[in-house]
Each structure stands twice: as structure tokens, then as C-alpha cells.
Amino acid sequence: MTKITQFSQLDLNGSYSYADYLTWRFEETVELIRGKIMPMSPAPNFNHQSISKNLLVEIGIYLKGKSCQVFHAPFDVRLYDRKKSLVANHDIYTVVQPDLCVICDKHKLDNKGCLGAPDWIIEILSKSTAQKDTQTKYQLYQEAGVKEYWLVYPYEATVSQFVLNEPEEKYQLIKMYSTRDNAVPFLFPELAIDLTAVFAQ
């Protein structure tokens, strides 16, 4: 196998697995979406990072002492066909790095990240990631069985909250929050996140 040390060595029209991903040795950060390489955007701006930090702190404090854990990017989440009971690296074609994710099943965690669907994922949109987050990743997370998905719109200071209707395996938009609201996760109804504080600069 050819050693990949430069991003330019990859064929952007090719198809790759997680086994390939593990062999790459270059500085650029990428995601795999159904085997296709998706370069990550440049480093997030201050606003994005501030929102991510504020959410991480709020969620982390709430989860302290509980079985669920919150993680932030860069953190590899490997998604696969839920109908397979055993998955090898060469059978995984999607590796994403959500801005934030909450995982309650400790058996999904290993030293490489998360294998399987997190319970809750939060993506903070930017102009360069909006289409990927609202369409491509929306479909991926829905298919993988992510129970709750939040889309955070920094410039509008709003949050769209989607919850998986498991019998139908489809997301339902159950709430849209604005900056003056307390956002309450469906999975954690005792947690009220003050969005005024989250969006504060």
C-alpha cells in the first residue's frame, strides 16, 4: 500500500474506508462521508469556538457524575450500517468529527474515538459547512440512529432541535429556540441551557 503523507496524494474521486483513513499521515483534517473525502474547513472563527466552549461547559457540568460523556472536535466518530453486528475497519466508510457529541454507551468508546452513533450531536454552522451539516450530515446521523441532533446557527443566534422518530427512523423538528430561550434536550429534560449565555461574546 502506498504511504500517504500528503493530502495531494489522495484521489478526491476515489472511495476510501476507515482502514485507509488510519494510514494517512498529513496535517490536513478530513472527514469520510460514505467513502468520499471531505476536507474540513479552516480553523473555526472566534464566534464558533465561543459557542462550542459555552455549550461544552454547560453540558459537561450537567453530565458530571453521570454515565454519559460529552466530547468536542477533533474527535473521530465512526458510523456504519446498523444492521451489521460486527464491523471491521475496512467496512466503515464514514468518519465524522462533530462539533459536540454526547455518548452514553461506554462500550462505543475506544482509544480511537467512538464506534457507532452518539446519542446527541451538535453541529455549529458556518457558511462553508451549512450545506454539509443541514443535508449530508443530517441524513447520515438520521440513518446511523443518532437520537437527537441540534443545528446551531451562530449569526441568527438560533437552534433547531431534531429528535429521531425511531419506528420511522426519521428526524422530527420538535423545537426552534432563539437567543432568549432555555434550550432543553429531549434526552435530558432536566438540563436547561441558557442560550443568551451560549451566544454571548
Say whether both 33 and 70 belong to one domain.
Answer: no
Q: Please count the structural domains in the chain.
A: 2
Same domain assignment for residues 34 and 53: no
Q: How far is CA 39 from CA 12, 102, 128, 190, in A?
A: 10, 24, 11, 37
- Residue 2 in any domain: the answer is no
Residues 114 and 178 in one domain: yes
Verify that 29 and 125 share a domain, yes or no.
no
Q: Over range 118-143, report the average pLDDT.
A: 93
Q: Which three cell numbers stand for residue 174?
A: 420538535
Q: Is residue 171 included in any domain, yes or no?
A: yes
User: How confident is the model over 152-156, as a mean pLDDT?
Assistant: 95
Q: Are residues 112 and 136 in the same domain?
A: yes
Query: Are residues 51 and 18 both part of a single domain?
Result: no
pLDDT of 60 above 70? yes
Quote the CA–CA distance of 60 and 64 in Å, as a whole number. 6
- pLDDT score of 114: 97
Domain that holds residue 157: 46-198
Q: Has residue 114 been placed in a domain?
A: yes
150 and 141 in contact (C-beta within 8 Å)? no
Residues 88 and 138 in one domain: yes
- What is residue 147's predicted lDDT score, i.e. its pLDDT? 98
**Whether residue 126 sits in one domain with residue 80:** yes
